[in-house]
Amino acid sequence: MRTKEKKPKQQLIILLCIILAIPVAWFLISRLEGGKPSIKLDLLSHTIGTSQELSISVADIKSGLRRIWIGLLQNGKETVLLEKDFPAKGLIGGGIKHEELLKVNIDPEKRGIKDGEAILRIVACDFSWRRWFKGNRTYLEKNIIIDTKPPEIEVISRFHNISQGGACLVIYKLSEQCPKSGVYVEENFFPGHSGHFQDKNIFMAFFALNHKQKPGTKIFVKAIDHAGNESKAGFNYYIKTKIFKKDVIDISDKFLNQKMPEFDIYIQERAELTIKDKFLKVNRDIRKDSYNKIIELAEKTDKVLYWDEVFLRLPKSANKAGFADNRVYKYKNKIIDRQIHLGIDLASIAHSPVPAANKGKVVFAGSIGIYGKTIIIDHGFGLHSMYAHLSSYDVEEKQMVSKGEIIGRTGITGLAGGDHLHYSIIIHNTFVNPVEWWDMAWIKNNVSSKIDNANED
């Protein structure tokens, strides 16, 4: 009888032990987890300069972060960049922190680190009980180069005469390959391009003044190397003031009734607007959208100088409106708007054939807001020509066209009152006066002679 009474008790004890063992086993397994911390290093370049900041993220989802160590090894010397211990929940609770984003500045000069090769080492530990309670450990090493010397800039081209609303070319040489270099006109950046000369360290940068920029505008060359070191170099330049004419445009109901339906696809609230308000929305908002679309297209360019010598204009055409004309719009004898005309309007006979001004690649052939059917040609190194208000076009995007090749015909699409060609020249992101590019003497003095002299050097 006693034996029979003991069996249930033994079974109960065994059951209780099993019940207690399960959470203990689970706890031990969780505390002895083998998942290592993760390290992610956001290293844009393996070359580190004077003030480059490293972004490092560490994480350990299970037991939490215990410690992070970041150091630099160079010529047998170890430099500690950062050491950080993370708090625990308690003796057995693991870590409080599971993720951390760290910003580390190497600052070679301050830390006494010399230019040259080095190893960046990152070590992260967690609160696992593995390795005799020292935790799982992750190593990350990267070979880097310390470079604190800024690039040297030598401006090769000698004369830089530029008109308000005009273009210019500067040629310069760098002491090393740089991912970014070019000309700043105040805050506006015009990238330089290599590849035209045998020496790959020689760059050309076409830059421009907009119609508002007068003498006193600051212009300089800037280069940033792979390590983030930057240099600036000034050069001699002369800015000529330009006076642009004013033009009054009378808007009639006949014109509005004829043209505004073309823009219904752009205006959602068209039923609520008067014909005058619809025009103002087109002339302001859609004009701005059209400008932004053109600039977006013109900022992309091939690193090839496709064009050669003088640019062609529409044959047997007369100028109907000039570059940077200050336009005043009147409706029923009242001024309702003011805008700047960023091109030249050329008129000939209706549906005149339009030649490509110079050799290049078609980057756009389609409709753009107020400009209607439009073609934009990339001539390389940031130079584009634009042909707008066309009735039709005979080319497609990515097509190479020759100088003088017929690409379309003039028309009245977009915000055009009569059949004509709106012709523009764009340098990177700035509209400039096309008249310069029709002038062989201007091109020789401001572009081709500089390139020839650079080749001789």
CB of 297 within 8 A of CB of 363?
A: yes
**Domain of residue 271, residue span:** 246-432
* Same domain for 397 and 418: yes
pLDDT for the residue numbered 13: 65
- Taking residues 324-348, report their average pLDDT: 96
| Residue 90 clears pLDDT 70, i.e. is over it | no
End position of a domain, from candidates 112, 146, 180? 146
* Same domain for 283 and 414: yes
pLDDT for the residue numbered 35: 80
Asked if residue 324 is part of any domain, the answer here is: yes
Q: What are phi and psi of 102, to 5 degrees?
A: -115, 140
Q: How confident is the prediction for the chain on average, in pLDDT? A: 90
- Taking residues 397-412, report their average pLDDT: 97
Asked if residue 96 is part of any domain, the answer here is: yes
* Same domain for 405 and 282: yes
Q: Which of 3-7, 62-66, 91-95, 104-108 has the lowest mean pLDDT?
A: 3-7
- Taking residues 346-361, report their average pLDDT: 96
| Residue 429 clears pLDDT 50, i.e. is over it | yes
Q: What are phi and psi of 3, to 5 degrees?
A: -60, -40
Helix/strand/coil for 234:
coil
In the sheet that holds 230-233, the strands lie side by side as 188-191, 180-185, 219-224, 230-233
Asked if residue 222 is part of any domain, the answer here is: yes
Question: Distance (Å, rounded) from C-alpha 67 to C-alpha 97?
Answer: 10
* Same domain for 159 and 86: no
What percent of the chain shows pLDDT beyond 90?
71
- Taking residues 4-20, report their average pLDDT: 63
Asked if residue 443 is part of any domain, the answer here is: no
Q: Which of 12-26, 28-42, 73-87 has the lowest mean pLDDT?
A: 12-26
Instruction: Tell me the two tokens of residue 30.
Output: 């969780």
- Taking residues 253-274, report their average pLDDT: 87
Q: Which of 87-96, 108-117, 349-358 has the lowest mean pLDDT?
A: 87-96
Helix (H) or strand (E) holding 21: helix 2-31
DSSP 122-133: EEEEES-SHHHH
| Residue 26 clears pLDDT 60, i.e. is over it | no
Residue range 342-352, pLDDT digits in tens: 999 999 999 99
| Residue 116 clears pLDDT 80, i.e. is over it | yes
Number of domains forming the structure of the chain: 3
End position of a domain, from candidates 99, 127, 146? 146
Helix (H) or strand (E) holding 446: none
Q: What is the radius of gyration, based on Cα positions, of the chain?
A: 34
Per-residue confidence band for 210, with pLDDT thresholds at 50, 70 and 90: very high
